[in-house]
């Protein structure tokens, strides 16, 4: 939709076109180098869950610090 916002853009697009996170779709110039990709949230959630499960295979639960669906930190220090 034209009112949608940019959630991510490559550094080159940001530099060449002045695109930034939060830009509206209607602000994006029509250019063959720009590819608009719709999110696939169901896939994103499934993969994120599998990655988190993988963390738990290698470090104790108390050492996995999940902050959001796509951001986790592992305390891999001495146990």
Query: So what's the pLDDT on residue 13?
Result: 83
Task: Residue 2: give the domain boundaries.
Answer: 1-29
User: Which positions are annotated as active-site residues?
Assistant: 71
Asked if residue 35 is part of any domain, the answer here is no
Residues 25 and 47 in one domain: no
pLDDT by position in tens, the chain (length 79): 666 888 778 888 888 988 888 888 888 889 998 888 888 889 999 999 999 999 999 899 999 999 998 899 999 876 5
DSSP H helices, the chain, are: 11-17, 41-58
CA distances from 73 to 5, 19, 63 (A): 28, 29, 8
Q: How many domains does the chain have?
A: 2
Residues 51, 71 contacting (CB under 8 angstroms): no
Question: Dihedral angle at the C-alpha atoms of 53, 49, 44, 14, nearest 10 degrees?
Answer: -60
């Amino acid at each position: 939709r034209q009112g949608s916002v940019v959630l991510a853009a490559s550094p080159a697009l940001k530099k060449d076109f002045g695109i930034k996170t939060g830009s509206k779709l209607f602000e994006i110039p029509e250019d063959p180098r720009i590819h608009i990709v719709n999110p696939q949230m169901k896939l994103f959630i499934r993969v994120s869950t599998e990655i988190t499960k993988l963390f738990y295979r290698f470090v104790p639960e108390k050492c996995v610090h999940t902050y959001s669906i796509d951001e986790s930190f592992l305390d891999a220090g001495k146990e």
